[in-house]
């Protein structure tokens, strides 16, 4: 029996949900659930309207934080792109309530062109680093954006610990592959496991964060638990979730989205309002929770910190 492979751009509209449609549908479902039983939604959704008490205490407030108002916790935890749990924006919050499986130890392998490779349990991996809170803007290619108080530590700190050698020009990241825990991996939407990459200077930039939480809480499954990347001047799909491997390589790594649509998703994926996605404009964006769109800023507004890394580059060619 032959199965048709779902290709990029062939997803039905129901699986690429506009935020306003999602909210209307969510409001309807909430109303129906309350009328029928008091609540049919998972506890994680029903309780998402208010921010729980922080589990991380004494976080350092980062000087890199924006002064922009944060996106409501409910939106941040119920409107997500995480194809490992489904292509609909609401699927991750529904499907990742028990992810990751606490009975399975989370391990991260660090290898490749480095002098100190190793495989670490999650707690051992983050223990040497001081956690801080950074309020970052995160921009998605579909035209929406969020402002999120992330908890984490600079990726540069981990890189220094691994001591990459002179052949390490790029850093490649890999997401967990476990279709039993991540049911979306049973569909050929992307080439699993999800992979992403950064140039070494991008990875070492002090803005680049390995996040282990948001809003003072540990990361939820739908947000990339237990550890994910956050690169605030790039589009959100560069912020790979649920990382199990960090590898230093000499050649430019192929990311999952580069494989899926090389004419739509380049390696750099810097926010550039002058370079349109083939299927939509990048010149304007809508913050989740806002009605009006705003002008998109080059490098998502972080040009002062990162523009020097791309001096002399054709940002239309290297998109």
Question: Read out DSSP for 64-111?
Answer: T---SPPPPHHHHHHS---GGG-SSTTHHHHH-TT-S-TTS--EEEEE
The answer, yes or no, to whether residue 5 has pLDDT greater than 70, is no
For residue 2, being part of any structural domain is answered with no
Token pair 């001081």 is found at: 130
pLDDT of residue 136: 98
For residue 3, being part of any structural domain is answered with no
The answer, yes or no, to whether residue 91 has pLDDT greater than 50, is yes
For residue 317, being part of any structural domain is answered with no
Strand 144-154 versus strand 132-139 pairing type: antiparallel
For residue 6, being part of any structural domain is answered with no
CATH number at residue 274: 3.90.420.10
- Domains identified in the chain, total number: 1
For residue 1, being part of any structural domain is answered with no
pLDDT tens digit sequence for 232-254: 999 999 999 999 999 999 999 99
pTM: 0.86
pLDDT of residue 16: 45
pLDDT tens digit sequence for 176-233: 999 999 999 999 999 999 999 999 999 999 999 999 999 999 999 999 999 999 999 9
The answer, yes or no, to whether residue 132 has pLDDT greater than 90, is yes
The answer, yes or no, to whether residue 21 has pLDDT greater than 80, is no
pLDDT of residue 54: 87
For residue 4, being part of any structural domain is answered with no
Please tell me the distance from the alpha carbon of residue 197 to that of residue 212, in angstroms, as a whole number. Answer: 19
For residue 5, being part of any structural domain is answered with no
For residue 132, being part of any structural domain is answered with yes
Which domain, by its residues, includes 31? 13-310
pLDDT of residue 268: 98
């Amino acid at each position: 029996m032959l199965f048709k492979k779902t290709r990029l751009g062939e997803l039905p509209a129901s699986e690429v949900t506009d935020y306003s449609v999602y909210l209307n549908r969510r409001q309807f479902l909430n109303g129906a659930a309350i009328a029928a039983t008091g609540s049919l939604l998972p506890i994680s959704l029903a309780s998402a309207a208010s921010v729980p008490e922080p589990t991380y205490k004494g976080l350092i407030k980062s000087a890199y934080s924006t002064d922009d108002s944060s996106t409501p916790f409910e939106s941040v935890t119920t409107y997500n792109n995480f194809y490992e749990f489904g292509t609909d924006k609401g699927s991750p919050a529904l499907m990742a309530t028990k992810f990751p499986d606490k009975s399975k130890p989370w391990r991260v392998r660090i290898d490749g062109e480095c002098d100190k490779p190793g495989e670490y349990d999650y707690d051992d991996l983050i223990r040497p680093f001081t956690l801080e809170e950074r309020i970052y803007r995160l921009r998605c290619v579909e035209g929406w954006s969020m402002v999120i108080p992330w908890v984490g530590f600079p990726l540069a700190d981990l890189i220094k610990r691994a001591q990459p050698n002179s052949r390490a020009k790029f850093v490649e990241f890999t997401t967990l592959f476990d279709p039993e825990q991540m049911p979306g991996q049973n569909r050929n939407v992307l080439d699993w496991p999800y992979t992403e990459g950064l140039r070494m200077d991008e990875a070492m930039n002090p803005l680049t964060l390995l996040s282990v939480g948001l809003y003072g809480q540990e990361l939820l499954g739908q947000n990339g638990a237990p550890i994910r990347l956050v690169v605030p001047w790039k589009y959100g799909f560069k912020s790979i979730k649920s990382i199990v491997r960090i590898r230093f390589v000499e050649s430019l790594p192929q990311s999952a989205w580069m494989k899926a649509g090389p004419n739509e998703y380049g390696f750099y994926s810097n926010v550039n309002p002058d370079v349109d996605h083939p299927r939509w404009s990048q010149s304007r964006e809508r913050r989740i929770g806002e009605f009006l769109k705003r002008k998109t800023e080059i490098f998502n507004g972080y040009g002062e910190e990162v523009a020097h890394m791309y001096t002399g580059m054709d940002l239309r060619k290297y998109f």
